[in-house]
């Protein structure tokens, strides 16, 4: 994709940036053009076409709705949507999080123990996302579950996956309660800084959904074959192992004692 030049900025977007802002460019994603403002922690993301500009609008909405969640996510600075040269175009400005994609860090990680530490932190992050209360504004109007929505989208997507989709539609896995999901929880969209995870970006697919989707994407690795079984275990421990606070544990123990003690009614 062509890098973004400051001349292309709509006036509305210019207003959110320092005057005479210049850009530098991170490795570009698949679906957007991105620029970092030099000297200010600001990212400008442009998405073109009806589908991608809607994704940018949704990403902005998700960032607004999750802004108070305490999740490590960019702060939304503004969204501008316009028709430009016969095409819909969305411009999203947000704060820049420190760090680089976890995928790059893992590629350089020297040993299995440090890879496991990263996966444990990733599991913990997934758990925090999935424990976030679902903002009302992110709930879809339609009465369908997330899986039903994905199945119907995928059915339209064509021949290639038709058999799998038809089988899934017939043998539906049991529903589990929907949670907030990120929806594109790959190692590219998680940023790492020094020895910790500094944030999650690219929230255009977020909303209520099946949390196992995020877990599956996180454990898909980089497409070069399955990830190490120890890393999977570390992730799942990070995902499930939030320790039960001591006071709560004692309360539960006592509640259980009372339940089984016939004199304590
Ligand atoms: N808020 C941010 N803070 C720091 N870096 C960011 C931020 N947003 C994007 N980036 C950088 O830009 C790259 C591409 O961003 P992003 O994933 O949002 O684009 P995309 O086109 O939606 O990606 P894809 O479709 O490939 O998932 C990221 O990998 C990251 O390096
Ligand atoms: Mg991305």
- Report, in angstroms and rounded to the nearest whole number, the Rg of the chain calculated over CA atoms: 22
**pLDDT tens across 139-178, in order?**
998 889 898 888 887 766 666 677 777 787 788 878 889 9
From the CA of 37, the nearest ligand is 1
- Centroid of ligand 2 to alpha carbon of 186 (angstroms): 8
Q: Angle, to 10 degrees, between the axis of helix 211-218 and the axis of helix 229-240?
A: 150
101 in contact with ligand 1, CB cutoff 6 A: yes
**pLDDT tens across 195-216, in order?**
999 999 999 999 999 999 999 9
Considering Cα of 117, then 230, then 243, then 98, what sign does the dihedral take?
positive
With the most atoms of ligand 1 within 8 angstroms of its CB, the residue from 34, 73, 96, 218 to mutate is 34
Domains located in the chain, CATH noted: 6-95 (3.30.200.20), 100-134+178-240 (3.90.1200.10)
Secondary structure E strands in 183-227: 190-193, 196-200, 207-209
pTM for this entry: 0.88
∠ CA 27-183-109, nearest 5°, is 50
94 in contact with ligand 1, CB cutoff 6 A: yes
Query: Do residues 98 and 191 make contact, with C-beta atoms less than 8 angstroms apart?
Result: yes
For atom 7 of ligand 1, the residue with the nearest CA is: 96
Q: What is the mean pLDDT of residues 51-71?
A: 97
202 in contact with ligand 1, CB cutoff 6 A: yes
**pLDDT tens across 71-101, in order?**
999 999 999 999 999 999 999 999 999 999 9
> Residue 244: is its pLDDT beyond 90?
no
263 in contact with ligand 1, CB cutoff 6 A: no
Phi and psi at residue 46, to the nearest 5°: -115, 135
Q: Which residue is associated with the tokens 């539906």?
A: 172
For atom 19 of ligand 1, the residue with the nearest CA is: 29
With the most atoms of ligand 1 within 8 angstroms of its CB, the residue from 201, 214, 220, 223 to mutate is 201
Give Cα separations from 94 to 37, 44, 62, 185, 228 (angstroms). 11, 7, 12, 19, 35
Exposed, middle or buried by CB within 10 Å (0-12, 13-18, 19+), for 64? middle
């Amino acid at each position: 994709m062509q890098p973004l030049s400051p001349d292309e900025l709509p006036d509305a977007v210019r207003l959110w940036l320092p005057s005479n802002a210049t850009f530098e460019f991170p490795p570009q994603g698949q679906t957007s053009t991105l620029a970092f403002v030099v000297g200010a922690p600001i990212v400008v993301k442009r998405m073109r076409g009806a589908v991608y500009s809607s994704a940018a609008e949704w990403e902005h909405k998700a960032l607004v709705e999750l802004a108070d969640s305490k999740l490590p996510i960019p702060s939304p600075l503004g969204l501008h949507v316009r028709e430009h040269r016969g095409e819909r175009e969305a411009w999203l400005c947000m704060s820049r999080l420190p760090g680089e994609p976890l995928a790059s860090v893992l590629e350089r990680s020297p040993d299995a123990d440090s890879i496991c530490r990263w996966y444990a932190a990733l599991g913990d992050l997934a758990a925090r996302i999935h424990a976030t209360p679902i903002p009302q504004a992110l709930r879809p109007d339609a009465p369908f579950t997330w899986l039903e929505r994905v199945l119907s989208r995928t059915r339209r997507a064509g021949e290639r996956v038709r058999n799998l989709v038809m089988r899934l539609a017939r043998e539906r896995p049991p529903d589990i309660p929907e949670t907030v999901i990120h929806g594109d929880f790959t190692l590219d969209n998680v940023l790492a800084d020094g020895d910790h995870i500094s944030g999650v970006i690219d929230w255009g697919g977020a909303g209520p959904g099946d949390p196992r989707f995020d877990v599956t994407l996180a454990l898909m690795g980089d497409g070069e074959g399955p990830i190490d079984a120890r890393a999977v275990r570390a992730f799942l421990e990070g995902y499930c192992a939030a320790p039960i606070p001591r006071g709560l544990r004692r309360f539960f123990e006592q509640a259980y004692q009372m339940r089984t003690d016939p004199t304590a009614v």
